Amino acid sequence: MARVSLIEERDHPELEKLTAKIRGGRDGRMLNIYRMLLHSPALAEKWLEQVSAVRWQTDLDGKIRELVIIRIGLLNRVDYVIKAHVPAFAVREGLTVEQCDALADWVASALFSDQQRAALAYADAMTREVQVPDAVFATLREFFTEKQIVELTVLIGTYNMHTRVLQALEIDAEAPAQAAQ
């Protein structure tokens, strides 16, 4: 159960414009993370903009994006993110459920390309150690442009923030019918 209450839209008509914007950016859904963030409408709106930008307004391949997001969810032990992305978003972007399952031990798996492995190593370094070893960054440069590296870095940073907020406030995942796309 969440450590803070989740805002009920019907109890806050003053938030109607913002809740419509959130629903518009989330296929008509009001996710629990936004129901919590609505305690601070300005943060809820900026959160929506940030997450939308890193997910939908970059040059990153959808498979790379989803692999990194799911891996961060696994590293930070946040089921909310894993349940939201596997299988719905992951499969839509062309990943297999087998690849998603292999993310727990991706280093030992043969299911990932060299480019995907470079992105996963980068996500691991940024999430676990914060400091990225030169060798990890050098490998990343082999597969991504500088623009994509910036986008990947901000994606990883954003989802580390996302998972830490979800974990600290113990926000529960939506029921399957609500979370489904």
For residue 69, the domain's CATH number is 1.20.1290.10
Compute CA distances 82 → 17, 134, 140, whole Å. 29, 29, 24
On whether residue 19 sits in a domain, the answer given is: no
124-127, Cβ contacts within 8 angstroms, sequence gap of 24 or more: 124/71, 124/75, 126/153, 126/156, 126/157, 126/160, 127/71, 127/72, 127/75, 127/76, 127/156, 127/160
Note down the domain range covering 106: 62-168
Q: Is the pTM of this model over 0.95?
A: no
How many structural domains are present in the chain?
A: 1
Residue with tokens 């030992």: 108
On whether residue 37 sits in a domain, the answer given is: no
The pLDDT tens digits for 8-35 are 999 999 999 999 999 998 889 999 999 9
On whether residue 73 sits in a domain, the answer given is: yes
Q: Which amino acid is at 19?
A: T
The pLDDT tens digits for 135-154 are 999 999 999 999 999 999 99
On whether residue 40 sits in a domain, the answer given is: no
On whether residue 6 sits in a domain, the answer given is: no
Cα-based torsion angle of the residue sequence 158, 122, 97, 59 in order, rounded to the nearest 10 degrees? 60
On whether residue 46 sits in a domain, the answer given is: no
Taking residues 95-124, what's their average pLDDT?
Answer: 98
Q: What pLDDT is attached to residue 27?
A: 86
